[in-house]
Amino acid sequence: MRYKTLAFDLAGTVFDWKGSIKRVLETVTADQGIVIDSERFAMAWRKHMVLALLEVRSTTLPHMHANTLLPIALQRIAMQFPALKLDDDVIETLLSAWYGMRVWDDVPVALARMKDSYPVIAFSILNFSMISECSRASGISWDGIISCDLLNSYKPEPEAYMEASAIIGARPDEVCLVSSHHADLVAARSVGMGTAYCFPHLAEPGTPAFNLPDLPSADEYDYCASNFEELADMLCPNWDENVSVA
């Protein structure tokens, strides 16, 4: 095998963060008797979470975990949605969306196939509890979880990929990053990691560091797949479907 380990980005690549936010927001707005554009709200919250993360990386904000950045981002977008009453209970309910993200439909079977051939590691800016709760609820398991909360750097800083490789116990070139985010893959490639691009289920226009080319060139990455099933075919060409993937 070319790689010893596969490392997976999560938010947007494996988990549907936008759908989860929209579901929870619609419950809140129904309780408050108001109408809010849930698509615009979800995109704004994600964008400002990333902007806050960039402030941490530039030291404008102190180093803090994702579950601390999310309420900061939520307060920053509040004025865009003045009808929404953001008391402590509502904030707690909205934050629960990040602990209830659902996996994309094409992930579980394909991930099990890849797990049969490689150790699979979750590698995300999300915190450990978000990763473990969403994974457990979706019925997927990892051989390890690396949250950037546990590192000295956040993706897509190159140092984060070096730290993750060291935790895995492998050289960067022995690890392949699976992601739907161009900036994520470019940073991984800059330290020598393998790169596997999986076409995104959702786009993030206007979100810094997560904008994707409309149609990435296949030669930009070691692997370029339209979905997880196709990626599993590429990474596990000799996989035997009669072998258990439990």
The pLDDT-based confidence of 208 (bands split at 50, 70, 90) is low
Per-residue confidence (pLDDT) for residue 185, from 0 to 100: 92
Mean of the per-residue pLDDT values of the chain: 89
pLDDT in tens, 64-97: 788 889 999 999 999 999 999 999 999 999 999 9
| Cα–Cα dist 218/112, whole Å | 25
Per-residue confidence (pLDDT) for residue 205, from 0 to 100: 60
The pLDDT-based confidence of 169 (bands split at 50, 70, 90) is very high
Per-residue confidence (pLDDT) for residue 153, from 0 to 100: 87
Question: Which domains does the chain carry?
Answer: 5-16+102-235 (3.40.50.1000), 17-99 (1.10.150)
pLDDT in tens, 34-70: 999 999 999 999 999 988 888 887 778 777 788 889 9
Check whether 15 has a pLDDT greater than 70.
yes
Per-residue confidence (pLDDT) for residue 64, from 0 to 100: 77
The pLDDT-based confidence of 245 (bands split at 50, 70, 90) is very low
Per-residue confidence (pLDDT) for residue 218, from 0 to 100: 63
pTM over 0.85: yes
* Percent of the chain residues topping a pLDDT of 90: 72
pLDDT in tens, 116-142: 999 999 999 999 999 999 999 999 999
* Cα separation values, 57 from 27, 60, 154, 192, Å: 34, 8, 7, 22
Q: Of 6, 22, 19, whose CA–CA distance to 138 is shortest?
A: 19
Please calculate the CA angle 102-19-57 and round it to the nearest 5 degrees.
85
Asked whether the beta carbons of 186 and 196 are under 8 A apart, the reply is no
Section 161-179 average pLDDT: 96
The pLDDT-based confidence of 200 (bands split at 50, 70, 90) is confident
